[in-house]
Amino acid sequence: MRYMQQAGGYEVEDRRRLLVRAARLGRSLWLPAGGAFVAATFGTIARLAGPLTVRAGIDRGIAEGDKVAVSRAAIVFIVLLLAQYVFVMISRYGIAWVGEQYLLKLRGVVFGHLIHSDTAFFSRSKSGVLVSRMTSDIESLQEFASDGAVMALSNGLTVIGVAVAMVLVDLQMALATFAVIGVLVGVSVVFQRQASKAYKRVRERIGHVLAELQEGIAGVRVVQAFTQEQVQATSFGRVNESHYRANMSAAAAISWYFPTVGLLRIVALGAVLAIGGIRVMDGSLTFGTLVVFLLYLDWFFQPIVNLANVYNLLQAAIAALAKLFNLLDVRAHVIERPSAHDLETPVSGTITLKNVTFGYDDETMVLRQINLEIPAGQRLAVVGETGAGKSTIAKLVLRFYDPQQGHVEIDGSNLRDLTMNSRTDAIALIPQDGFLFNGTLRDNLTYGAPDAADIDVWNVLRAMGIDGWVRSLPEGLDTEVRERGSRFSAGERQLVALGRAFLDDPSVIVLDEATSNLDPETELEIEGALRVLLAGRTAIVIAHRLRSAERADRVIMIDDGRIIADGHHKDLITSSPEFGRLVKVWERGLT
């Protein structure tokens, strides 16, 4: 019953519209899908024709002592088996190929949509949920594509074909069989509903178990420090017990269903033997026909059971499709206008915020009527308490968001009117944690300039004063950085991030306090590289530590979404009480 464990608990509002949309996505696969269906149909016909040759061999051969008829029936039967083998093999491979091609396309479409989504989308969405869409939901579809679709098609065709064959072979026994099959269908529907509810509870409980387990392991040091091992174990025990009860309710459904199926199968066989045996004895039915009917009857039960299982797998696949298409329906708020133009070159890097008001939702404004001009080449530090709106200014300059009122300009051009490529070429971000991609050091340094030659890379490294460090690495530029740059220290990762930005040669650089997580010695090394990188460029530094403000050409202080101080660091200490108080608080934290 592994299919039951994949049943979807997600409510799908409009299945018909969903399936039509899914079909449109795979319209290029209709022809091979049709070919797989035709092959499956011929395979089913070959299988169903087999018992008819058995009847001919019995009634025309064995009963009449005709060895030629027996041999002919055996040969035809073998040919049908071979034909069935070939057609089934073709259909299974075809269905698997169509399914994998569909998933290949779907994964590409979903990932492409995610990678082009704006920052607002990712701030609203949990990364774990997004990863789940690309893993567990795709896995549900993969399960159906690899097994469920094959079973649904083969068993569906078998049920229809066997029903037609039984009616054609003998209507009276067919009607008796259908009465029992009707009960089986009803029982299967009841079981499917009961099992779906049970396994929905199982999925909910396993989620609680995993959450409790993850929290216990992640916080094990705190648990042990406060000697709360028994409390944590008791809490996990309650969740674990709940999961056990949910699994037992599913086991209860299974425990009555399969014995019932077995009982109904015996009842149907008994009815056919009783009716058919009497008719064989009175001469109204041949013995070969009875044998054929018994073979068809045996083929009738298992496909119906399989279809009950496949139904749950289909439910999971439909639920997964709905979640993936809902993800695709999320539209970005920050988009490129059809009339967008490239930024004129050369870019000087003057940044202007005009009457900017912004909030992450329409009810709470984070910035209010901000007017700010940053001349080309100036290094501006933005300071303020947590939540004042410092990072929000950086996000607006990078156009991660658009303000509700006012606009942001670079060299006099509204960011909304610029193409994405020209804007991102002109403005670069260096975050707190220098994120590195899995690959070589060269791959990471040239990420923004993939066509850069090694000589350009070495010139940048030499200008930053880190070429000696790179040469000391085992494979130099070909050194593998490993996942998220785990091979390097935080300072080394930040140096690589600075080199990457330098090589991309932007006119404006936004630093989300690139040195706040570093020790003093490494910070001095980074600052030396920054002096080279920022020379002649406009820089906006989100300063969480006021040492960055001391090095800046100009400092602005944000409080409650407004600029309350603007000037040089030394001047603001005396001219702005708020800034002076912030400096004193910071200095006390150093002592």
| Tens of pLDDT, residues 222-257 | 877 778 888 888 888 888 888 888 888 878 887 888
Strands 351-358 and 405-410: antiparallel
Q: How far apart are CA 375 and CA 427, in angstroms?
A: 14
Residues in the chain: 591
pLDDT at 39: 92
Is 428:510 a contact under the CB 8 Å cutoff? yes
**Between 412 and 130, where is the model more confident?**
412
Q: How far apart are CA 76 and CA 49, in angstroms?
A: 10
Within the chain, which residue ranges are assigned CATH 3.40.50.300? 351-590
Is 356:422 a contact under the CB 8 Å cutoff? no
pTM for the whole thing? 0.67
pLDDT at 1: 41
Q: How far apart are CA 307 and CA 148, in angstroms?
A: 9
**Between 514 and 95, where is the model more confident?**
95
Mean per-residue pLDDT, 275-292: 87
pLDDT at 4: 42
- Bridge partners of 358? 367
561 contacts: CB under 8 Å, gap ≥ 6: 365, 366, 367, 368, 370, 388, 389
363 class by beta-carbon count within 10 Å (0-12 exposed, 13-18 middle, 19+ buried): exposed
Q: How far apart are CA 309 and CA 10, in angstroms?
A: 18
pLDDT at 79: 93
* 351 has a pLDDT exceeding 90: yes
Gyration radius (Cα) of the chain, Å: 35
Strands 379-384 and 554-559: parallel
pLDDT at 396: 92
Within the chain, which residue ranges are assigned CATH 1.20.1560.10? 14-170
pLDDT at 6: 43
* 209 has a pLDDT exceeding 70: yes
* 8 has a pLDDT exceeding 70: no
Mean per-residue pLDDT, 559-583: 88
Q: Looking at domain 14-170, what is its CATH homologous superfamily?
A: ABC transporter type 1, transmembrane domain (1.20.1560.10)
- Reported confidence tier of residue 425, pLDDT bands at 50, 70, 90: confident
Q: How far apart are CA 404 and CA 411, in angstroms?
A: 21
Is 353:393 a contact under the CB 8 Å cutoff? yes
CA atoms within 13 A on the CB side of 354: 12
* 320 has a pLDDT exceeding 60: yes
Q: Which of 144, 132, 98, 100 is nearest to 324 (CA)?
A: 132
pLDDT at 323: 81
pLDDT at 237: 87
Percent of the chain with pLDDT over 70: 91
pLDDT at 203: 65
- Reported confidence tier of residue 7, pLDDT bands at 50, 70, 90: very low
pLDDT at 68: 85
Over residues 433-490, the pLDDT tens digits come to 777 888 888 888 888 888 888 898 898 888 878 888 888 888 888 888 877 666 777 7
Q: Which CATH number fits domain 351-590: 3.60.15.10, 3.20.10.10, 3.40.50.300, 3.20.20.70?
A: 3.40.50.300
Q: Which of 321, 351, 392, 341 is nearest to 110 (CA)?
A: 321
- Reported confidence tier of residue 123, pLDDT bands at 50, 70, 90: low
pLDDT at 60: 80
**Between 518 and 121, where is the model more confident?**
121
Mean per-residue pLDDT, 155-177: 87
- Reported confidence tier of residue 66, pLDDT bands at 50, 70, 90: confident
* 493 has a pLDDT exceeding 90: no
Mean per-residue pLDDT, 560-586: 87
* 12 has a pLDDT exceeding 60: no
- Reported confidence tier of residue 357, pLDDT bands at 50, 70, 90: very high
Q: How far apart are CA 567 and CA 383, in angstroms?
A: 12
568 class by beta-carbon count within 10 Å (0-12 exposed, 13-18 middle, 19+ buried): middle
3-state secondary structure of 508: strand
Return mean pLDDT, the chain. Answer: 82
Is 476:539 a contact under the CB 8 Å cutoff? no
Q: How far apart are CA 158 and CA 169, in angstroms?
A: 16
Q: How far apart are CA 356 and CA 359, in angstroms?
A: 10
Is 158:213 a contact under the CB 8 Å cutoff? no
pLDDT at 264: 87
- Reported confidence tier of residue 13, pLDDT bands at 50, 70, 90: low
**Between 228 and 540, where is the model more confident?**
540
Asked which of 10-19, 248-257, 308-317, 562-571 is least confident by mean pLDDT, the reply is 10-19
